[in-house]
Structure 1
Amino acid sequence: MPRQRTGDTRARIQRVAIELFSEQGVQQTSLRDIADRLGVTKPALYYHFASREDLLNSLVQPLVEDFEAYAAEQQAAAPVEARELLGSYFDLAYRHRTLIQLAIRDLAVLHELKLADRFIQWRGQLADLLIGPAPAFADQVRCMVAIGGLSDCAVMIDHVPVDELRSAAVDAAYDSLGRP
């Protein structure tokens, strides 16, 4: 039987960790729980991750990198048509929905990883692109409803095919902006 490569083992650990974090919560899941589910020893996990926090950071890092790159790309491409921007934001949120759900369900994760501040920053950058840097109060509210509602749809609705969900969510977000 061929031996598993380190990258495969690392990915397997991450998959099981996400499962357990989603089932039990991050704070309630130990490395022992993850090792037991995998059928390996706890020291075997330490070979790949120094701590539960290290493992959690490895899960969140791709999300952070994607959102940072997305914000930079959108700012560099400005002006971007609003419907197109909302659609690409939906795609980004949908791609990372499992981790975002995990963070929403376990708010300590948002604080521990400073994700709340980052999400606020990213949403602010998106809002600037949608409504400009000095919008009227009513436009700010419409924009926050659009962005927040779009994100919630991408992350929380799972009983509808993604194409149908994307279309409905982007249309609703765009309509929330109050544009003709």
Structure 2
Amino acid sequence: MPQRPNEPSDQPRRARSTGSGRAGGGSESRAEPRTGRSENVSAGGRSDTRGRIQEVALELFAEQGYDSTSLREIADRLGVTKAALYYHFRSKEEIVVATVEDFLADIDDLVAWAEEQPRTTRTRHEVLRRYSDIVRVRFPSMRFFQQNPAGMHKSGLGERFQERMGALHGVLYDGGPPQNRIRALLAVVSMHMAAALSRDSGMPLGAGLGLSVEEANQAALDVAFGLVDAENAENAENAENAGEGQAGRRRGMAT
């Protein structure tokens, strides 16, 4: 069935150059984005060996701190030898970089999809839904970012993450006064909060609220939708006021 005008397309980009978003600065083609709607994202995390190493490393970093965790402890938690771990990662830094690269690639794919869609409220809602899926799956990465800001800054990974946040904000912000820019930023922050609000997050705030992952995600989405809807309403009101002002000036000139 042909797609109706002004509806977001669910078809992913067929190929994309990842540019500076990937290690080495090269380009690659992917048949489909790394993530998208919730049915395309595995809530259980990656099952490949490298992905499992990253998951366990992030667990240990959260439990005892990045500096206090050794490769030996990561290998022991995995039940493998240190030599086997070395086959995939030579250092903790390599694990962190790979983890951040995966997150950045998810955001790159989402922004690339959004840039091909009409600039409508429905598109912005879908961007927020898809980003909610990314944050839910990548919550251990988000927690690491929050717990290790100095390390993220020192490695340059923090700046790259902020660049991606700027790109994501760009597809949500549709112009207008500074208040609209702030609303778009807060909509993204709402998605970050969702990951910490569930009772399964391990965060004190989440334990106190007692929300399930689904309830936390929906609550954050409702807040984010309200923010971008308010942006749209203000833009429409400003356009209407501008039109009335022009009409008034024309009437004044006619008299």
Paired with 2:158 and 2:88, the residues of 1 have a C-alpha distance of 27
Q: Does 1:49 align with 2:100?
A: no
- Distance of 2:50 and 2:161 partners within structure 1: 27
Return closer, same or farther for 1:51/1:119 CA change in 2, 3 Å cut-off: closer
Aligned residue for 1:108?
Answer: 150
Structure with greater contact order relative to length (CA < 8 Å, sep ≥ 6) = 1
Alpha-carbon separation, structure 1, partners of 2:119 and 2:155: 31
Q: How high is the sequence identity, in percent, across the aligned residues?
A: 34
Give the letter for the 2:192 counterpart: S
1:140 aligned to 175, 181, 193, which one? Answer: 181
* 1:131 corresponding residue in structure 2: 173
SS of residue matched to 2:116: helix
1:71 aligns with 2:127: no
Partner of 1:4: none
**Aligned in 2, Cα 1:109/1:78: closer, same or farther, shift over 3 Å?**
farther
Paired positions, count: 172
Question: 1:112, CA displacement in angstroms?
Answer: 4.2
Query: Which residue is equivalent to 1:85?
Result: 127
Q: Distance in 2 between matches of 1:158 and 1:72?
A: 29
Between structure 1 and structure 2, the one with the greater Rg is: 2
Structure with the higher fraction of residues in helix conformation:
1
C-alpha distance in 1 between matches for 2:165 and 2:51:
30
CA-based RMSD of the aligned residues comes to: 2.4
CA distance in 1, matches of 2:227, 2:92: 40
Q: SS at the partner of 1:29?
A: coil
Taking a change above 3 Å as real, the CA distance of residues 137 and 49 of structure 1, as seen in their structure-2 partners, is same
**TM-fit CA distance, 1:163:** 2.9
Structure 1 gap segments, 5+ residues each: 1-6
Distance 1:113 1:78 in 2: 36
Which residue is equivalent to 2:193?
152
| 1:136 partner amino acid | P
Calculate the TM-score normalised by the size of structure 2: 0.59
Unaligned runs of 5+ in 2: 1-46, 200-210, 234-255
Paired residues of 2:198 and 2:215 also in contact (CA < 8 A): no
